[in-house]
Amino acid sequence: MRNFILAALAFAAVGTATVIDTTEANAVVCARGVYRAGCAGYRGGVVVRRPFVAPVAACRWIWVNGVRVRRCV
């Protein structure tokens, strides 16, 4: 009876450790850079450029004939 209880406890401990320690096995590493992002896996690498974003217009206030006017270029 004692051996049966010890075997049951050992089985429960191994089963619990197996359930708790499951981790995802991803073989892909990705990085995000300033100009582009890239991922490398077991089949090679991929580089993706960021989409072009138009720069925001630079606006400033100037005086035209005594009136303050906002000009955006």
- Write down the residue that tokens 């401990």 correspond to: 13
The pLDDT score that the predictor gives to residue 38 is: 74
Distance from C-alpha of 2 to C-alpha of 13, rounded to nearest angstrom: 17
pLDDT at 26: 59
Q: Which helix (H) or strand (E) holds 62?
A: strand 59-64
- Asked if residue 28 lies in contact with residue 38, where contact means CB atoms within 8 angstroms, the answer is no
Q: Which two tokens stand for residue 44?
A: 């090679």
Tell me which residue range forms the domain holding 65. Answer: 23-73
| Domains identified in the chain, total number | 1
Residue 10: inside a domain: no
Residue 54 lies in a domain: yes
* 49 falls within a domain: yes
Residue 48 domain flag = yes
Ranges of the chain whose pLDDT falls below 70: 17-29, 33-36, 50-51, 53-54
Length of the chain: 73
pLDDT in tens, 53-64: 667 778 889 999
